[in-house]
A = this chain, B = another copy of it.
């Protein structure tokens, strides 16, 4: 089974291709061109490098969020288009679970963290023996409020953990551990494992209802609620 997974949850963008579980190619770009340009470049590079075309694929995986609203919209819309054009199934997965999957044998709970702007983070706590299992579900919160709920030794990972490292260390001291720097960008090669698991479980997304998981309302929704006096 050939699976193509994409991630556009943060400023990093990556595409990974597996064939029967083996990683065949991955391309990750963490800065530079605009996201939409990078995504297509990453997809082209991965398929071209593997000598494959879209028609050779058996399915798609996509990171659903939480994360950058614009990034997630681009990622989900792109995969929906590809699935519609090729008739191949799609599996979605949590962007934070994908990031936790970067540390598959972590001996302590893993806290994947993205900067959610407005003084908040998208964060969760996962156990990472094998596929990540949520101890605390994906949420959006101020980093201080999120950290207040953590008592034990925890490994922090992601650009949110870099952004708030001083605060994390001030609150948790020696109980706060950090992923090596190269592990902070989320990776489609970690996400593709979650997509493969979803396909194994028959958890295929409907193209009609497949949507990003923003967790918090968008600016447009907030403005509408305000206009309506709610």
What is A's interface to B at a CB cutoff of 8 Å? 16, 18-19, 21-33, 38, 41, 45, 49-51, 101, 103-108, 130-131, 155, 177, 179-185, 189-190, 192-193
Tell me if A's interface is mostly helix, strand, loop or mixed. mixed
Across the interface, do A181 and B21 meet the contact criterion of CB distance under 8 Å? yes
- Mind listing 12 A-B residue pairs with CB under 8 Å? A22-B184, A23-B184, A24-B32, A25-B29, A25-B32, A33-B49, A103-B104, A104-B180, A105-B106, A105-B107, A105-B179, A130-B180
Minimum-distance CB pairs A-B, first 9? A107-B107, A182-B189, A29-B49, A21-B181, A23-B182, A105-B106, A26-B28, A32-B51, A104-B180
Q: Choose among A21, A45, A49 the residue with the greatest number of B CB atoms under 10 Å from its CB.
A: A49
- A25-B30, A29-B49, A105-B177 given; 8 more Cβ-contact pairs under 8 Å: A18-B182, A19-B31, A31-B50, A33-B51, A45-B45, A103-B104, A106-B107, A131-B180
